[in-house]
Amino acid sequence: MQLLSEELLRSLGEARHVMVLTGAGMSAESGVPTFRDAQSGIWEKFRAEDLATPEAFEANPARVWQWYEERRAIVRSARPHAGHQALVMLESLVPELSVITQNVDGLHQLAGSKKVTELHGNILRSKCHVTGRPISAEWLSGSAHAVPPSPYVSGGFARPDVVWFGEVLPRQALEAAMQAAVQCDFCISAGTTSLVQPAASLPLMALEHGAAVIEINPSETPLSPHADQCLRGLASEVLASLVNQLSSWKHDSGQGR
Ligand code: NAD
C-alpha cells in the first residue's frame, strides 16, 4: 500500500480544516455502479448521460423514472465500506472536516459523517418536475402510475431530486463547497474522474488558496498533474490506510486528542 509522504502527513496532521471531495468511485465498492458501468439488461442501448437530463425526462418520463427506480433499489441495499468509516474516524482526528460529495446515495451520512454537502442532490428524495417542491415518500407509494403525478401541478410529474446534466447545482450546497475549498488547508479528492464541473474545480480552487491536495483513484485524472501526491488504489483501502497513518503520526508526535 502506497503511503502518504512524510511532508504531506505532517500537513494533514497540522491542518485546521480538511476538505474531502468524493465521486462515484467512492461508492463503487459499496456496490453502487459509476455511470460508466451503470448499464445492464434493457438499459444497454441507452447511455446514462442520455437518461440523466431534463430533456430525456420530458421526452419519456416513465422510462427515466423506471431507470431511477432500479438505481434506487441498488442504493437502498448498499452499505458504507471501510473508506466511508475512515472518513468518520478522520472527523475525530482533525479540527474541522467537510465532506463534499457528488454522490446521490447518502452513504457518507449512513456511515456517520456529520458535515456532508450533497452537490448533486439525493436519489432517495423526489421533487415536482415543474415547481421543484419536495414530494413525500407517502405520496409516491400511494401512486399506481408508471411515473407518479406531482401533488402540486395538474399534469405535472414527480422526478428524482438529483442534479441532471445541464442543470444548475443547489445554490446553498455549491456555496458551502466553495467556502470549504477556499478555507481548507488540506484537500483529498477521492473516486472522481475530475471531469464533471463545477465539482472538478474545487480541488484546484483549494490549491490556488494554498492547500495541499492529494488524489485517491486507481486511474489518472485531469487533477493528477496538479496534485501534491496521487495515491493509486481503491478508496476503501487507501482511506483506511491514510487514517491509520494519521492516527500513528498524532500518537508519535504527542498530538493525539
Ligand atoms: P466519476 O466521474 O466520479 O468517475 C468515477 C471515478 O472513480 C473514476 O475516475 C474511477 O477511476 C474511480 N474509481 C472507480 N472505482 C474506484 C474505487 N474503488 N476507489 C477509488 N476510485 C475509484 O463518476 P461517474 O460515474 O462519471 O458519474 C458522474 C456523476 O454522476 C457523479 O459525480 C454523480 O453525481 C453521479 N453518480 C452518482 C453515483 C452515486 O451516488 N453513487 C453513481 C454514479 C453516478
Lookup result for grid cell 468509516: 85
> Helix, strand, coil: what percent of the chain each, to 5?
45, 20, 40
CA of 251 to the centre of ligand 1 (A): 34
- Tell me what pLDDT residue 242 has: 98
Pairing label, strands 134-135, 121-128: antiparallel
- For 33-77+124-162, CATH gives 3.30.1600.10
pTM tops 0.85: yes
Q: What is the pLDDT of residues 68-110, one digit of tens each?
A: 999 999 999 999 999 999 999 999 999 999 999 999 999 999 9
Residue nearest to atom 2 of ligand 1 (CA): 193
212 pLDDT tier (thresholds 50, 70, 90)? very high
Q: Is the CB of 106 under 6 A from ligand 1?
A: no
Atom of ligand 1 nearest to the CA of 194: 2
Quick check: is 120 catalytic? Answer: yes
Atom of ligand 1 nearest to the CA of 38: 43
Q: What is the pLDDT of residues 14-62, one digit of tens each?
A: 999 999 999 999 999 999 988 776 665 556 667 777 889 999 999 999 9
Residue nearest to atom 9 of ligand 1 (CA): 193
Cis amide linkage into residue 198, ω under 30° from 0:
yes
CA of 22 to the centre of ligand 1 (A): 8
Identify the active-site residue in 81, 108, 120, 129.
120
Q: What is the pLDDT of residues 246-255, one digit of tens each?
A: 999 999 988 7
Residue-range domain boundaries for the chain = 1-31+79-120+168-257, 33-77+124-162
Cis amide linkage into residue 149, ω under 30° from 0:
no
Nearest to 190 by CA among 115, 95, 82: 82
Pairing label, strands 158-162, 186-190: unpaired
Specify the amino acid at residue 182.
V
Pairing label, strands 158-162, 121-128: antiparallel
CATH 3.30.360.10 fits 1-31+79-120+168-257, yes or no: no
Q: Is the CB of 42 under 6 A from ligand 1?
A: no
